[in-house]
C-alpha cells in the first residue's frame, strides 16, 4: 500500500505497430533504516497499464498494489503494476487516510543466492545477497537485494543456510534500506534445495522451508495435477513442490 502523486499518461509503440498506454506515478517506499530509529522514504515510480484517454489518479490517492519490481542500487525503484486498487474518497480531505492500516511492503521472490554472510554478533541474523530478474518497463531487468533471518529464534534455529548459486523462493517484508542503498528484506518464509542436483531426473530431493519439508520432483511429461491445498502444478521440466509439514 502506498500513495501516488504526479500522475501523467504516456504511450509507446511496439515493433509490430501496436500502441499501448500507461499512467506513470511518483511514489515512495517507507523504511526504518539500519538502526530503526529514523524513517527513510525511498523514491519509486509506478507504471500502470491504462486504457486510451484514461485520467491519472488525483495526487495523494492511496493505492494497494501488486507489482513486479526492479530495485537498482542508488536509483529509484521501479514498480510494474499487475493489479492496482485505489481507495475511494477525496484525497484532499484530512480524514481520507485516517483509518487506513499501515501495511509494510511485501516481497515474493524467486532468486539466486549470490553471497552468504555469517551470523551477526548482536542478533545472530543471517544475511543473503540475492539476485532476481523480472520483466519491467518492457525489458528483463536484474535486481540485487539483501535478505535476512534471525537464527536466535526457535522458528529459524535449525534451518540450514543455502549455498551460493542455489535458487530459493522467499516471502518477506521490507526491513531496512542501507548498505550502499540496497533494499533489505526480512524473510518470513523461504524454500530452497539443500541437496546437490539429482543425476537421475526421476530422483526426488528434499527442500527445507521455515514451515516444513518440501518434496521436489522433475518431470518430463505434461502438466501434473496437484490437489488443492497440497502444492502447485507445473509444466514440463519444472519443479513440482508438495508441502509435507
Taking only the tens place, the pLDDT of each residue in 98-151 is 878 777 777 777 777 877 766 555 567 788 888 888 888 878 888 888 888 877
Of 31, 70, 30, nearest to 47 (Cα)?
Answer: 70
Out of 48-57, 159-168, 203-212, pick the least confident.
203-212
> How many domains is the chain partitioned into structurally?
3
Give the residue with greater pLDDT, 45 vs 219.
45
Residue 74 lies in a domain: yes
**Which whole-number Å values give the CA distances from 120 to 182, 190, 244, in the listed order?**
18, 20, 31
Residue 100 lies in a domain: no
Residue 69 lies in a domain: yes
Residue 30 lies in a domain: yes
Residues 46 and 114 in one domain: no
Residues 127 and 169 in one domain: yes
pLDDT at 67 over 80: yes
Report the chain's mean pLDDT, rounded to a whole number: 72
Residues 6 and 81 in one domain: yes
The parent domain of residue 65 ranges over: 2-86
Residues 48 and 125 in one domain: no
Q: Are 190 and 171 in contact (CB under 8 A)?
A: yes
Residues 176 and 234 in one domain: no
Residue 200 lies in a domain: no
Confidence grade of residue 155 (pLDDT, cut at 50, 70, 90): confident
Residue 143 lies in a domain: yes
Residues 115 and 166 in one domain: yes
Report pTM. Answer: 0.66
Amino acid at each position: 500500500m502506498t500513495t501516488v502523486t504526479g500522475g501523467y499518461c504516456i504511450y509507446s509503440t511496439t515493433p509490430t505497430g501496436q500502441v499501448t498506454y500507461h499512467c506513470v506515478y511518483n511514489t515512495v517506499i517507507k523504511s526504518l533504516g539500519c538502526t530503526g530509529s529514523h524513517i527513510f522514504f525511498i523514491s519509486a515510480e509506478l507504471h500502470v497499464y491504462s486504457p486510451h484517454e484514461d485520467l491519472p489518479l488525483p495526487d495523494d490517492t492511496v493505492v494497494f498494489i501488486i507489482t513486479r519490481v526492479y530495485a537498482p542500487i542508488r536509483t529509484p525503484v521501479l514498480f510494474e503494476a499487475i493489479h492496482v486498487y485505489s481507495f475511494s474518497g477525496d484525497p484532499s480531505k484530512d480524514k481520507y487516510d485516517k483509518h487506513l492500516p499501515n501495511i509494510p511492503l511485501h516481497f515474493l521472490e524467486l532468486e539466486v543466492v549470490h553471497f552468504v554472510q555469517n551470523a551477526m554478533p548482536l542478533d545472530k541474523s543471517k544475511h543473503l545477497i540475492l539476485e532476481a530478474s523480472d520483466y519491467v518497463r518492457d525489458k528483463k531487468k536484474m535486481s540485487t537485494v539483501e535478505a535476512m533471518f534471525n537464527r536466535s529464534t526457535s522458528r529459524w534455529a535449525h534451518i540450514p543456510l543455502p549455498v551460493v548459486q542455489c535458487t530459493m523462493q522467499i516471502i518477506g517484508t521490507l526491513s531496512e534500506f542501507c548498505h550502499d542503498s540496497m533494499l533489505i528484506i526480512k524473510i518470513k518464509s523461504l524454500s530452497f534445495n539443500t541437496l546437490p542436483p539429482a543425476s537421475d531426473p526421476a530422483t526426488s530431493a528434499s527442500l527445507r522451508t521455515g514451515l516444513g519439508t518440501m518434496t521436489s520432483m522433475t518431470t518430463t511429461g505434461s502438466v501434473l495435477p496437484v490437489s488443492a491445498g497440497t502444492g502447485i502444478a507445473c509444466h514440463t521440466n519444472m519443479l513440482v513442490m508438495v508441502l509435507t509439514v
